[in-house]
Amino acid sequence: MVRVPLTPEERERGQRLGEALREARGTRSMASVAAAAGMSVETLRKIESGRVPTPAFFTVAALADELAFPLADLAAACVPASADEQPRTA
């Protein structure tokens, strides 16, 4: 296997990313946010629903910028709740 399939943990992490983005969107429509961030509505929908667990960095960055959601906070929001105090490997 040259490209390992995503693990369940990675998919869960993607779900948390999507949930965080969806909350940040609030009452704005998906269409307006997607357009402002430069992506299709379908892509935003899949990211929010977690069906695209590992989107491209700049895709996430554009969304975070558009939604005024700090990237660092977004990354932190994807860490499992049980480990949110120990982000360091050590």
Partner DNA sequence: CATGGGCGTGATAGTAATACCGGTATAACT
Partner DNA sequence: AGTTATACCGGTATTACTATCACGCCCATG
Residues in contact with DNA by CB under 7 A are: 1-6, 14, 29-31, 38-43, 45-49, 51-56, 59
Query: Is residue 56 at the binding interface for a second copy, with CB under 8 A as the rule?
Result: yes
- Give which of a second copy, DNA, none residue 49 binds (C-beta under 5 to 8 Å, depending on kind): DNA
Name which of 5 and 87 has its Cβ closer to DNA: 5
Q: Which of 43, 48, 55, 40 is nearest to 10 (CA)?
A: 55
Half-sphere exposure of 85 (CA within 13 A, CB side): 1
Half-sphere exposure of 7 (CA within 13 A, CB side): 3
- Give which of DNA, a second copy, none residue 83 binds (C-beta under 5 to 8 Å, depending on kind): none
Query: Tokens in use for 84?
Result: 């949110």
Neighbours of 40 (CB within 10 A): 11
> Least Å distance between CB 51 and a second copy?
15
- Give which of a second copy, DNA, none residue 71 binds (C-beta under 5 to 8 Å, depending on kind): a second copy
